Structure 1
Amino acid sequence: MPNPASTQPKRNKFIASVLAAGVAGAALSAGVLSDTATVNAEPVTVEAPKDNFGFADVVSQVSPAVVSVRVEQQSEPRAEMSGNFENPFGNLPEDHPLRRFFGTPDGRQMPPSMGPRGRDRPSIGQGSGFFISDDGYVVTNNHVVDNGAKYTVVMDDGKEYDAKLIGTDARTDLALLKVDSPNTKFTYVEFGDDNAARVGDWVVAVGNPFGLGGSVTAGIISARGRDIGAGPYDDFLQIDAAVNRGNSGGPAFGLDGKVIGVNTAIFSPSGGNVGIAFAIPASVAKDVVTSLRENGNVQRGWLGVQIGEVSDDIAEAIGLSSAQGAIVTLPDNETPASKAGIETGDVITGVNGETVENPRELARKIANYSPNTKVDITVFRNGESETIPVTLGNLSELDEAASLDAPRSDSSPVDPSALSGYGMTVMPAEDGQGVVVTDVDPDSSAAEKGLEAGDTIVAVNGTSVSTQSDVSKAISTASDNGRRAALFQLRNAQGQNRFVALPIERS
């Protein structure tokens, strides 16, 4: 058996050789830098927290202010069933012993709870919320309390309080409840400054996921200003904390214990957490909640226009230097905009001197003003900018049932004719307002831009049209003015307007 001591020098010698080779290799790779005296830039370094990092201090302070919200929803009488009810056992044979548990007198199958003697039972929904005052005001989501008949607030220690609904705002998905308990001072939290929050900052979500009250998850802000198609005021914080069903209405805290967002939605193909959640920014929630507390609703300014995006093609077609602003597809009848003289085809580029980048920003800017406020609207029209003073209306008084249907005449139809170079066949509209597209070549630029049979061309480059020749003339005028595209104002069968820029075919 070899002496370990005798093998040690050989082993050390081998290790030393390997290390020497590594050092030599490093010297070779760094030799050029040493000879030329090049200095590498310093890498990015971040000082690690000196104390053990965790969220326990934040959670212990804020948890008593976070509640579960239980909602007993208005029940409706069960409709009489028809056909077979699909149950987990499938269609049972006539002689199957379980059939008697699922049968009805006429042989239909249904679970026992829905049998002929079953009673209507109210539906119970659950979400989250948080106190914003010691006298019992609770913030949650509108979709949590929607259609509610009774509201119960459950504390983190299990104690329950009845609550009443103060107000809701469907446009931002916020709601305010009130617990009346005169002899109780509730622990509450306050809204923070989400504008100071950065992508990468920590957030802590506390709530009631899947009915598991008092659950805590942590993550970071992963994006700001998200538009998820929920409404005209979308400006969500995207966070990657684990947020699930039941977290709705709960707070997302910064490390200072202040609420920087109200959890409202998740992105999930399965319905569970996949790491993407959306929170209403504290700056939005604070204003809405204040208005709900004072008025029971939210007072917003109202302009009264239908608007669309300004694409590069549209900007080129109308001579706008860049694709920004919001194009007016239709000023509604008898609205502040129409009364002030804002017209279809105008591009709104500013409000009170502040630039408007897109339709969503315009909606938010107008909503931030109180009703009856006078604002200066900057529009781009016929190649020039002009300012139009408008006195805003009240959005809460908007009659959403206003009809856009135009009266139809009994005039006889006219034979369709081709619109040269655009792959469209058109014919005059029955009411004389525009030309109706009757056919679109699927390989044409018109089809590529989304034109369909049934669309009505109302105007081209701001000029009203009623015949195919009117359309051709307007296109020719745009071409003579050096435009590379013509702006088509279209109206669909539902009376909704949109704008499409089609390239001008040059011979």
Structure 2
Amino acid sequence: MSRNALSDTTKTSSSTLRRSRSRLLAGVFTLALAGGVVGGVVLPEIVTPAEAQLSTNQPASTFSFADIVEKVSPAVVSVKVKKDGDADVAMNDDEPGAQNVPPQIERFMRRFGLGPNGPQGGPDAGPRRGGPGGGHGRVVGQGSGFFISADGYVVTNNHVVDGASEVDVTLTDGKSYTAKVVGTDPRTDVALLKVDGKGDFPWVKLAETAPRVGDWVVAVGNPFGLGGTVTAGIVSARGRDIGSGPYDDFLQIDAPINRGNSGGPTFGLNGEVIGVNTAIVSPSGGNVGIAFAIPSETVSQVVEALKSGGQVARGYVGVQIQPVSDEVAEAMDLKDAQGALVAQVQPGTPGEKAGLKPGDIVTAIDGETIKDSREMSRDIARKKPGVTVKLSVLRDGKSITVPVTLEQLPTDVASNDTGKGAEQEKGNRDVPRLGLSLAPAKGVAGAGDLGVVITEVDPNGPAAERGLKAGDVILDVAGKPVMKPSDVRDGLAAAKKDNRKAVLLRVKSEQGTRFVAISLGDNRG
């Protein structure tokens, strides 16, 4: 078999195994019926998952993934990374109790009641990146990767090679090569390496179509430095957001993935790569059946960009957006909680030049409907700088079209001043209906010139329940700018007079600017 033919679709026949499985299942079904009909319920026919895709030139009892594994494994490599020094480096990822959890993943951990020290203080919990760890002096870590071309291009995770002074890859035949980092994309956690050789490396193809939930998958990688390890499972879910960035769109799989699998491929039954393993949820430090992979579509786009320029050029509008929640939809009198709500327009950006405003709701891009802010972020990021897109915008209850010429996404986006540490002022500025104490921003050091600063929050009040904190600055109430506490009170009173069930506050915090919907039914006096 030619090594370069690894990317070809695996040729299988389904008739024999289907007949064998039918005979086997018929026997099982017959045994079930032999016990009689229980409670008048007739047992349904049993259907096996991914039946149409399984290799079937053998009896059901002897089916295995061996043919697929034999074909694709030569293209999978172990990645060894060396780093100089020990500054800002975590424990070795293969040591028990390692805390190799990036800060952006911790938000996802909290959803499961997990923390860096595990549930109820137990050791080693939460989603974990499976890449390199650390130590003192010369740091060595391990991960996985795979060839995507015969001339030596290798895909792995950014977090596997981040900060590396030297990268080596080892093939299944034991040969090792020094690899050059062509480029990385931290936003999607994809890295592209290049190995020099004769141009006859075994390689595999990135799938062009997304798998279905329930499809069988095979993962190959280097867990705990063991190398050449194969596990199998199914696609558990698609479109997962694990809090690692604005472009999260992960596949969730239940094939056992452990530390060191990061950067390794997950294959469909046709031998094509459907995803790149990147993170796991682990209360104990080991696999619990929840792993995440970057979809091949995303990987393919990033790899092409890294090949051509060493970095990914993404389109940029320059607005802070958030989902349209049910509370926001109610406050804005919308029929559907759908689209991306513009919370802030950054000065000097394409969004400001095009005339976008806070409170606008983007419902479609070039005629294609978007369901939420994440989808808008991903769609805009896929477009090239310089392209003009037509945004369908809902403004003041009317639909308009706003053309926006995209620019290059900046490497760093400056965060807003939050006014944190504002002095507390009470007295007649208190607004008991929200459980807040307020003060004009102009009178509080570091709060800026616009809006009203929250100086104290009643932990049992409705504002606290919506996540408002001391130091946050209220900019608008029901679409109207506020400059003093009485403006906030008047805005609430006007909304209640109009029989609105909720009111929108536009709030600036250390996370940026966002809209917060406060139910007027929550008012407590």
- TM-score when scaled to structure 1? 0.78
Q: In the alignment, is residue 199 of structure 1 matched against residue 209 of structure 2?
A: no
SS at match of 1:364: helix
Superposition pairs of residues 135-214 of structure 1, within 5 angstroms: 135-181=151-197, 183-195=198-210, 197-214=211-228
Which amino acid in 1 is paired with 2:368? E
Query: Does the 8 Å CA contact 1:78/1:120 hold for their aligned counterparts?
Result: no
Q: Which residue of 2 aligns with 1:57?
A: 67
Q: Which residue of 2 aligns with 1:108?
A: none
In the alignment, the residues of structure 1 paired with residue 449 and residue 155 of structure 2 have an alpha-carbon distance, to the nearest angstrom, of 53
In the alignment, the residues of structure 2 paired with residue 283 and residue 177 of structure 1 have an alpha-carbon distance, to the nearest angstrom, of 18
In the alignment, the residues of structure 2 paired with residue 190 and residue 337 of structure 1 have an alpha-carbon distance, to the nearest angstrom, of 38
Which amino acid in 1 is paired with 2:161? V
Q: 1:54 to 1:120 in 2, by over 3 A?
A: closer
Q: 2:384 aligns with which of 364, 370, 380?
A: 370
User: Cα distance, 1:282 vs. partner?
Assistant: 0.7
SS at match of 2:417: coil
Query: Does the 8 Å CA contact 2:419/2:471 hold for their aligned counterparts?
Result: no
Between Structure 1 and Structure 2, how many residues are aligned? 432
Q: 1:477 to 1:261 in 2, by over 3 A?
A: same
User: Cα distance, 1:394 vs. partner?
Assistant: 0.7
In the alignment, the residues of structure 2 paired with residue 455 and residue 339 of structure 1 have an alpha-carbon distance, to the nearest angstrom, of 27
Q: 2:318 aligns with which of 297, 304, 307?
A: 304
In the alignment, the residues of structure 1 paired with residue 136 and residue 505 of structure 2 have an alpha-carbon distance, to the nearest angstrom, of 55
Q: Which residue of 2 aligns with 1:428?
A: 440
- TM-score when scaled to structure 2? 0.76
1:466-506 deviation digits (Å, cap 9, x = unpaired):
122322332233334332111111123x3722221112368
Alignment identity in percent?
52
Which amino acid in 1 is paired with 2:472? D
Query: Does the 8 Å CA contact 2:258/2:280 hold for their aligned counterparts?
Result: yes
Q: 1:122 aligns with which of 131, 138, 142?
A: 138
SS at match of 2:165: strand
In the alignment, the residues of structure 2 paired with residue 166 and residue 62 of structure 1 have an alpha-carbon distance, to the nearest angstrom, of 24
Query: Does the 8 Å CA contact 2:169/2:177 hold for their aligned counterparts?
Result: yes
User: Cα distance, 1:382 vs. partner?
Assistant: 1.8
User: Cα distance, 1:192 vs. partner?
Assistant: 1.3
Q: Which residue of 1 aligns with 2:498?
A: 481
User: Cα distance, 1:162 vs. partner?
Assistant: 1.1
Structure 2 spans left out of the alignment, 5+ residues: 1-32, 90-134
Q: Which residue of 2 aligns with 1:43?
A: 45
Query: What RMSD over aligned residues (CA atoms) do the two structures have, in Å?
Result: 3.1
User: Cα distance, 1:147 vs. partner?
Assistant: 0.4
Which amino acid in 2 is paired with 1:378? S
Q: 1:212 to 1:452 in 2, by over 3 A?
A: same
Q: Which residue of 1 aligns with 2:120?
A: none
User: Cα distance, 1:216 vs. partner?
Assistant: 1.0
In the alignment, the residues of structure 2 paired with residue 361 and residue 278 of structure 1 have an alpha-carbon distance, to the nearest angstrom, of 19
SS at match of 1:319: coil
User: Cα distance, 1:432 vs. partner?
Assistant: 4.5
Superposition pairs of residues 454-473 of structure 1, within 5 angstroms: 454-473=471-490
Q: Which residue of 2 aligns with 1:131?
A: 147
Q: 1:376 to 1:27 in 2, by over 3 A?
A: closer
In the alignment, the residues of structure 1 paired with residue 331 and residue 297 of structure 2 have an alpha-carbon distance, to the nearest angstrom, of 38
In the alignment, the residues of structure 1 paired with residue 248 and residue 369 of structure 2 have an alpha-carbon distance, to the nearest angstrom, of 18
In the alignment, the residues of structure 2 paired with residue 184 and residue 498 of structure 1 have an alpha-carbon distance, to the nearest angstrom, of 52
Superposition pairs of residues 355-504 of structure 1, within 5 angstroms: 355-395=369-409, 397-400=410-413, 402=414, 404-405=416-417, 416-419=428-431, 421-429=433-441, 430=443, 431-492=448-509, 494=510, 496-504=512-520
Higher RCO by CA contacts (8 Å cutoff, separation 6 or greater): 2
In the alignment, the residues of structure 2 paired with residue 171 and residue 275 of structure 1 have an alpha-carbon distance, to the nearest angstrom, of 25
Query: Does the 8 Å CA contact 1:153/1:160 hold for their aligned counterparts?
Result: yes
Q: 1:267 to 1:29 in 2, by over 3 A?
A: closer
